[in-house]
Amino acid sequence: MSDRNQCVKENFIRFVEQFDLPKLSCQLTPQEVGLTDGELVDLFETQVISRHLDLHSRVMQKQGQSFYTIGSSGHEGNAATAKAFRASDMAFLHYRSGAFTLQRGKQVSGQTSIYDMLLSFAASKDDPISGGRHKVLGSKALAIPPQTSTIASHIPKAMGAAFSIGLAKRLDHQGEIPHDGVIVCSFGDASSNHSTAQGAINSAAWAAYQSIPMPIVFVCEDNGIGISTSTPTGWIEANYNNRAGLNYLSCDGLNLLDTYRVSQQAAKIARDKQQPVFLHVKLIRLLGHAGSDAEFVYRKQEVIEANEHNDPLLHSARILLESNILTAEQIIDIYQSIANRVEYVAQEVIKKQRLNTAAQVMESIIPGHVKSKAITVSPSKRQALFKHEKHNISKHQHLAKLINWTLIDLMAQHENMVMLGEDIAKKGGVYNVTTKLVERFGKNRIANTLLDEQSILGGAIGLAHNGFLPIPEIQFLAYVHNAEDQIRGEAATLSFFSKGQFTNPMVIRIAGLAYQKGFGGHFHNDNSFAVFRDIPGLIIACPSNGADAVELLRASVKLAEEEQRVVIFLEPIALYMTKDLHQEGDGLWTFPYQAPALERANDEDKTNNNSAGLTISVQGKGTDLCILTYGNGYYLSRQAEKELTEKGIHCRVIDLRWLAPLDEKGIIEQAQACKKVLIVDECRKTGSISEALMSLLTEKAGINSQNMQRLCAQDSFIPLGSAAHHVLPSKDDIVSVASKICSSNAQLKA
């Protein structure tokens, strides 16, 4: 079996020497497209550097010096695309964009791109973008956020970043992207079929169709195959040509001159007209999908060899020869000298250290601290914001109203805060939690989106890239599953893969959990948030009442703004409008609104043993039973507490409030102070947070399993109407289980 890596390397020299070069698809001169002879040579050198980096990465892998060899061979024409854009035009790139990254590196002084890429190949901790955590294309100096093995998941945030440019102009916001900037987003033909790509491109076109500025160029690099699955001939053009809201352009990606010419057109349309462009670049793939891909298994040898003869570097050589810019000898000399340079630098790189401790690996999961940009709102301005609530502001309110008021204050304090989601503007959200916000802050800051959770979350990430503080809303908890990778694979990984150089802080508001009377179906009445709990660095807040919601939402925004964190703010729908605790009219589940200046700094019921302030809440001082719970479970446990006290069982009820990270010290302290522990978890028994609590108390608190019990929902979806009561914990269940586990150490009243 032939070594295709070596064949491709040697073929270039042989074909140039023999002038056995592929025909050009179009006859253009450098001058016709606005390139000097020197600039064309420079682009060719970039292509050659990218190729030799690919070739040598495979050599390194065989020698155990490299670990990930997916490369850009066949796609080197994207060097011309890079040249058509400004270095400040933020670029969200896929993994075959090596030449693009190298060419952009030439536009910014002080770059050592060959060295940097080889450091990434070798997983060296000196790698300037990921610090040895992955082979990624990215650079803070080059405005290229890092991407790993992207399969379209980066396209929604690119769309969001494009939207942020026009928004920044309208709000006079000075962010990371210039007001005349353009977003570049590249991906493959196979990735274009992914629902994430379809949704993001549709969102951009949907916005542009309404004349909303969307300066973005979607660069589809069409090599005709996705790993081993061929793309039907004409499929990309048929899908994206003549599409509403989208400008379609195509070019020969094997021809530097045509690629540069059309890329310039794309950049001009996006910049001048503020419209999205779909740039269809037709090219080939060489050396298989990646180093581990045995291409001969699914491609005939003659097809492989035909592709190798259609090498974009050979096209460039023909242009240089026919334009009398370089001789064959000069072309080969450039090719060989660059190969020598790459090999030389690689020998230095492999001497560099890699990450060698867990602490080193994990140090970039949590970003660094930045200074708050919050402003002080004058009393007169605040009075104007609350003028429609002047008769209610002094009264106790339920959860939904207190969240609404908190959002008003936060929006006023943080001028870069933007909310986006389905129906959140004039309608005020499905549960009126965002009511009247658009009247107070305008449609630029309270934005209705189309029905696509991937675009909502990706859009928020893009906004954060431009210095906004986004508060996206997911209408129902189960809807997040349509887009969970935007949180898991994109938002939460950005700091990790960029050594904290790139962050996308946000607070994601999600209405969820169960107990909605009469409202069933797993899409609207979902009781599982397990999808969030294993995401490194993610924070989960869950208020059970209005007073805590005010405190937790302000803390969440502070964490997002000052610590650059991604926070899930989980709001229990069933408690939105709840006013009473024990009997109708008692009003015990309504609370006064604490204005920001009067916010309680130290509440007696809050433990203060968590450095980040993510602490539990404690109700009662009983020692017979410690009930650990949250959300609806806390509400039900407070109801049960009254009956248990009447039975002679003295409890303390702990509201976890922060579900990730857990306040382990506070939980252990309260549990150890009691004889028995009951965990009340409204989520399903399998995969619920009760499992983590049991492990915590067993492993770190030394509590015997005989002194602990958990009461969870059944492993079932939530049915309609009263049937839901059969699969969810109830107040009576809590009383019954608590009575049983305490029967050995409490004298129950008759």
pLDDT tier, 501 (very low <50, low <70, confident <90, very high otherwise): very high
**Cα–Cα distance between 120 and 128 in angstroms, integer?**
8
Mean pLDDT for the stretch of residues 105-113: 96
* pLDDT tens-digit series, residues 663-700: 999 999 999 999 999 999 999 999 999 999 999 999 99
**Cα–Cα distance between 420 and 431 in angstroms, integer?**
15
Tell me whether domains 4-353 and 392-598 share a fold.
yes
Distant-in-sequence, close-in-space partners of 15: CB < 8 Å, separation ≥ 6: 21, 309, 311, 314, 317
The pLDDT value recorded for residue 744 is: 63
Q: Are strands 417-421 and 446-448 parallel, antiparallel or unpaired?
A: parallel
**Cα–Cα distance between 259 and 79 in angstroms, integer?**
9
* pLDDT tens-digit series, residues 317-334: 999 999 999 999 999 999
Place of tokens 């993510």: 614
Q: Which of 41, 101, 112, 113 is nearest to 76 (CA)?
A: 101
3-state secondary structure of 397: strand
The pLDDT value recorded for residue 745 is: 57
Instruction: Map out the domains of the chain as residue ranges.
Output: 4-353, 392-598, 617-742
- For the chain, what is the radius of gyration of the CA atoms? 30
The pLDDT value recorded for residue 294 is: 84
The answer to whether residue 746 scores a pLDDT higher than 90 is no
Residues facing 713 on adjacent strands: 684
pTM score:
0.95
3-state secondary structure of 699: helix
Phi-psi region of 518 (alpha: psi -120 to 50; beta: other; left: phi over 0): left
Instruction: Report which DSSP code applies to 14.
Output: H
The pLDDT value recorded for residue 748 is: 41
3-state secondary structure of 278: strand
pLDDT tier, 5 (very low <50, low <70, confident <90, very high otherwise): confident
Domain 617-742 sits in CATH at 3.40.50.920
* pLDDT tens-digit series, residues 278-291: 999 999 999 988 87
Give the fold, CATH level 3, of 392-598.
Rossmann fold (3.40.50)
Mean pLDDT for the stretch of residues 166-194: 96
* pLDDT tens-digit series, residues 728-738: 999 999 999 99
Mean pLDDT for the stretch of residues 739-748: 72
Distant-in-sequence, close-in-space partners of 494: CB < 8 Å, separation ≥ 6: 145, 146, 461, 502, 503, 504
3-state secondary structure of 46: helix
Instruction: Report which DSSP code applies to 672.
Output: H
Q: Which CATH class is domain 4-353?
A: alpha beta
The answer to whether residue 609 scores a pLDDT higher than 70 is no
Task: Copy the structure tokens of residue 344.
Answer: 């030389």
Average pLDDT, the chain: 93
* pLDDT tens-digit series, residues 164-173: 999 999 999 9
The pLDDT value recorded for residue 375 is: 94
Residue 308: what are its φ and ψ, rounded to 5°? -65, -30
Cα distance between the two ends of the chain: 86
The pLDDT value recorded for residue 291 is: 77
